[in-house]
Amino acid sequence: MATTGTKSFQNLIGGEWTDAASGETFESTSPADGETIGVFPRSGPEEVDRAVEAAKAAFEEWRLVPAPKRGEILFNLARILEREKTALTDLMTHEMGKVKAEAGGDVQEAIDITYYMAGEGRRLFGQTTPSELRDKWNMSVRQPIGVVGAITPWNFPIAIPSWKMIPALVCGNTVVLKPARDTPALGERFVELIAEAGIPAGVVNVVHGGGGSVGDRLVRHPDVRVISLTGSRETGVEVLKAAADTLTHVHLELGGKNAIIVMDDADLDLAVEGILWSAFGTSGQRCTAASRVIAHEAVYAALQSKLVARVEKLRLGPGWEDDTDVGPVINKDAIEKIHSYTEIGRDEGATLLTGGEPATDGDLAKGFFYRPTIFADVDPQMRVAQEEIFGPTTALIRVRDVDEAIRVSNGIKFGLSSSIFTRDVNTAFRAMRDLEAGITYVNAGTIGAEVHLPFGGTKDTGNGHREAGQAALDVFTEWKSIYVDYSGKLQRAQIDPS
């Protein structure tokens, strides 16, 4: 098998590294300077079919491996990921563009969830309950479902595959992974390390290619029993439609339009730090990014001044340079979309305070860099306050009180992450209750989830499922209720007396 140094990669199907049958390939390049990361097979339905067949065959044995033994393999994987953290971090700064600290955090999330889910190998709790009849035992247990299709994005190219694959594996499922076309080297390297940890051949497979050829076939394949997708709302709707004919279980993690509320009693310096991290971390390319800041009118001007001053000191550059604050966005299409929203904001009457253009000076011209952008005087109904931009842009919205702040925060179609900065415990608890989101932070930004709590959102952010924590087990298992009657006679529940 080739490594990153040779620039040539393959699919992993049933334990064998293979090219696409068509012989076609595509390149992965760095968004920071255009460096070629590697050449990958442009796969199609044929490769998906073979991978699903391999995963289906491997499931019959993998599901019978005792869950504690599956957990032991994952503990081994976690240790391998720790060993490889520096190398994975470096690869991520080049292929995806994250700055070093964030790339290291991405890898650390995979380490954390792997340790956490490995422990589930000795839990995977069911339930016991008393029977309504004498001499009868009742219990419920979790059982694996089968082949899982994991379709992952480029913005968290190690963390998100781990959120999907690791709980699926500890529960006894097998996996076909389709990494994002912008970060295939990271997806492949993750799978290589899973194989090194001792996962049997066929239990984890990787097929490279586009959503139209690889992703669509994976979603429609009758032997794929679970699809887990992180992507846009539009893609999620299409996946639900495509999976309907086979009644495939579908888990969707979709968009966000998250807000940070800053009340009049907030620590403004702390709030600015939270906004900087949430709005411009990962160049705003997070579903949890704070693309709205809802500020009380009493602190609006001061917050605006402090925030602009800090943003204008941020340094753009390649993620692998130690003094870079903001890396590139992922590709040319992203630059064009982000800039289109700058024009939309101007046309709608918002005030552009800073940024609002691609950065093309010096070496930045080699990559896809966009200057951190802040709009002020934003009406909550403007498109820049309603639609996901997925770039380093945030909108400042003025409100009169906490009632209006919560109403504005909730006044969107998404419901992923939310935040409030306040020193008032009553206001904090009010926000915790009333903000319509799957995640609420108090005196912190909108990003920074921990793997032992559920991750996901409400409304158009998904379809009700969650990643991470105990809730992830519900995506990758089905419940079986078991009744054991040791009375020696036929007892009919709800009919015969106890």
Active-site amino acid positions: 253, 287
Token pair recorded at residue 250: 């579908």
Alpha helix positions (H), 356-439: 402-410, 425-434
CB-count exposure of residue 492 (10 Å: 0-12, 13-18, 19+): exposed
CB-count exposure of residue 472 (10 Å: 0-12, 13-18, 19+): buried
* d(C-alpha 144, C-alpha 224), whole Å: 13
Q: Report the largest interatomic distance among the alpha carbons of the chain, rounded to a whole angstrom.
A: 85
**Is 67 strand, coil or helix?**
helix
Alpha helix positions (H), 357-477: 402-410, 425-434, 471-476
- The letter for the amino acid at 311 is V
| Strand partners of residue 458 | 415
- The letter for the amino acid at 93 is T
Distances (CA, A) of 31 to 20, 319, 367, 369, 370: 25, 10, 5, 8, 12
Distances (CA, A) of 47 to 60, 173, 227: 21, 20, 17
Query: Could you write out the three-class secondary structure of 273-297?
Result: HHHHHHHHHHHHCCCCCEEEEEEEC
The DSSP H or E segment spanning 228 is strand 224-230
